[in-house]
Amino acid sequence: MRLRLLVFIVAAIFAASCGSGNQNQTSGSNAKPSDPNKKPKIGFSMATVKEERWQRDRDAFEAHCKKIDVECVITVADNNSDRQANDVDNLLTQGVDVLVIAPQNATQAASLVDKAKSQNVPVISYDRLIDSDKIDLYISHQVPVIGRKIAEYALQKVPKGNYAMVYGAPTDNNATILKEEQLKVLKAAVDSGDIKIVADQAITDWKPELALNFAENALTKNNDNIQAFVVSNDGMAGGVISALGKKGLAGKILVTGQDAGLEALQNIAEGKQTMTIYKAIIPLASGAVDAAVKLAKKEPLTTTPFKNVNGKEVPAVLLEVVTVDKDNLMTTVIKDGYAKYEDVYKNVPEAERPKKP
């Protein structure tokens, strides 16, 4: 099924006001009393916009608010959980009707949920899952599926050899979920001895420079005898590729990623990065805004249950994802309009580029 059609289907399902089958409805019953004539005010507390991916989220969120004529206030904590706590305090002081949080620290953010709920303000956990069962909605992509797709791709391409695992921030529940799913996929190959995990590390704040340092150390300790770097996002993949480049190994060792950032897509086109996971951002951001409006108006949401790290179910909307590599750049991110042909193949000689659509 074409990705664009899939996105439309997801959006249509999300917009429905009543569900069927195993879907649950949440109505935001703890929300402030609704005024049909009042324009909802949405607060969006973001942990970071350092990476291109999060800049896309911010821009798409703001654009959809303008499109449907609702007020939104967006704050950015620059990867500082204390600053995010202050941001949330300010948003609540400004009288937001709904609070959307992309948490810096999933555990600490639970207290932010408690604070909002004490003021009868509904909370949406955006992309990253907050460690709380009091949230009104968790909207994200299929994080467990992402973890499995990354590991399955690596195992298919490199069924035997030494692996280095580059996990995301230990304060981010998404990183924990990705790690667990990756290790489940790799377990049989590890147990049989086909692959050996010779290095692994959780990278603070998903920082590319720390991933670079880890990769350099892993290569040194293993005399460059590593066949695959299983990396949980594109930013860190860029750090790993820099480390490989210093040793003339870029393009010779499998490197995974996630987010389909432009630099990663360029690296894939050049053969330096092997794959990434494409997650359509506009449906995620617009879906969060639409859900916030419904919660502000105490209207029902169509959701499915998702178990958090404590095994407690929270209402969720999870969008599908697509694996992207050199073979399908043209038929995924470029065809879908997510990235431009000229940008993706900028560093590839024209004679070596696929035919322009």
Q: With a cut of 60, say whether residue 2 has pLDDT above it.
A: no
* Full-model pTM: 0.82
Note the pLDDT of residue 308.
80
Structural domain contains residue 344 = yes
Total structural domains within the chain: 2
Q: Are strands 301-307 and 313-319 parallel, antiparallel or unpaired?
A: antiparallel
339 and 287 assigned to the same domain: no
- Dihedral (CA of 183, 188, 189, 191) sign: positive
Structural domain contains residue 240 = yes
Instruction: Render pLDDT for 89-122 as a digit per residue (tens, 0 to 9).
Output: 999 999 999 999 999 999 999 999 999 999 999 9
Structural domain contains residue 357 = no
Note the pLDDT of residue 22.
39
Report d(CA 161, CA 193) in Å as an integer: 9
295 and 235 assigned to the same domain: no
158 and 10 assigned to the same domain: no
Residues 6+ apart with CB under 8 A from 127: 57, 102, 139, 140, 141, 174, 284
| Span between the terminal Cα atoms of the chain, in Å | 19
82 and 211 assigned to the same domain: no
Q: Where are the alpha helices (DSSP H) in the chain?
A: 3-15, 52-67, 81-93, 109-118, 143-157, 173-192, 208-221, 234-246, 262-270, 281-296, 341-344
Kindly state the tokens that stand for 272.
């330096």
Angle (CA) 344 281 237, round 5° = 50
> Mean pLDDT, the chain, as a whole number?
91
Note the pLDDT of residue 356.
83
185 and 289 assigned to the same domain: no
Q: With a cut of 70, say whether residue 29 has pLDDT above it.
A: no
90 and 61 assigned to the same domain: yes
DSSP 161-210: EEEEEEE--TT-HHHHHHHHHHHHHHHHHHHHTSEEEEEEEEPGGG-HHH
Report d(CA 100, CA 103) in Å as an integer: 9
In terms of residues, how long is the chain?
357
Buried b (16+ CB within 10 A) or exposed e, 3-34: beebbeebbeebeeeeeeeeeeebebebbbee
Contact (Cβ atoms closer than 8 angstroms) between residue 133 and residue 117: no
| 31-45, 246-260, 272-286, 292-306: the lowest-pLDDT one | 31-45
* CATH code where residue 326 lies: 3.40.50.2300
Sheet of 98-102, strand order:
24-26, 301-307, 313-319, 137-141, 123-126, 98-102, 41-46, 71-76
Contact (Cβ atoms closer than 8 angstroms) between residue 80 and residue 107: no
240 and 340 assigned to the same domain: yes
Structural domain contains residue 290 = yes
Structural domain contains residue 129 = yes
State mean pLDDT over 278-291.
96
- Dihedral (CA of 169, 281, 129, 50) sign: positive
The position carrying tokens 């990183």 is 175
77 and 59 assigned to the same domain: yes
The position carrying tokens 């086109």 is 269
State mean pLDDT over 82-94.
98
157 and 204 assigned to the same domain: yes
Instruction: Render pLDDT for 211-237 as a digit per residue (tens, 0 to 9).
Output: 999 999 999 999 999 999 999 999 999
Q: With a cut of 90, say whether residue 150 has pLDDT above it.
A: yes
44 and 114 assigned to the same domain: yes
153 and 268 assigned to the same domain: yes
Note the pLDDT of residue 34.
52
Residues 6+ apart with CB under 8 A from 347: 266, 269, 270
Contact (Cβ atoms closer than 8 angstroms) between residue 323 and residue 43: no
State mean pLDDT over 122-149.
96
Q: With a cut of 70, say whether residue 270 has pLDDT above it.
A: yes
Instruction: Render pLDDT for 312-331 as a digit per residue (tens, 0 to 9).
Output: 899 999 999 999 999 999 99
State mean pLDDT over 49-53.
92
125 and 196 assigned to the same domain: no
| 31-45, 47-61, 195-209, 222-236: the lowest-pLDDT one | 31-45
Domain of 305 in residue numbering reads as: 3-140+281-318
pLDDT above 70: percentage of residues in the chain: 90
Instruction: Render pLDDT for 62-78 as a digit per residue (tens, 0 to 9).
Output: 999 999 999 999 999 99
Residue 13 sits at φ, ψ, to 5 deg, of: -60, -45
Q: Where are the alpha helices (DSSP H) in 68-108?
A: 81-93
State mean pLDDT over 189-217.
98
Smallest CA-to-CA distance from 6 within 354, 340, 335, 238 is with: 335
Report d(CA 339, CA 332) in Å as an integer: 9
Residue 27: pLDDT band with limits 50, 70, 90: very low
Q: With a cut of 80, say whether residue 309 has pLDDT above it.
A: no
Instruction: Render pLDDT for 329-338 as a digit per residue (tens, 0 to 9).
Output: 999 999 988 9
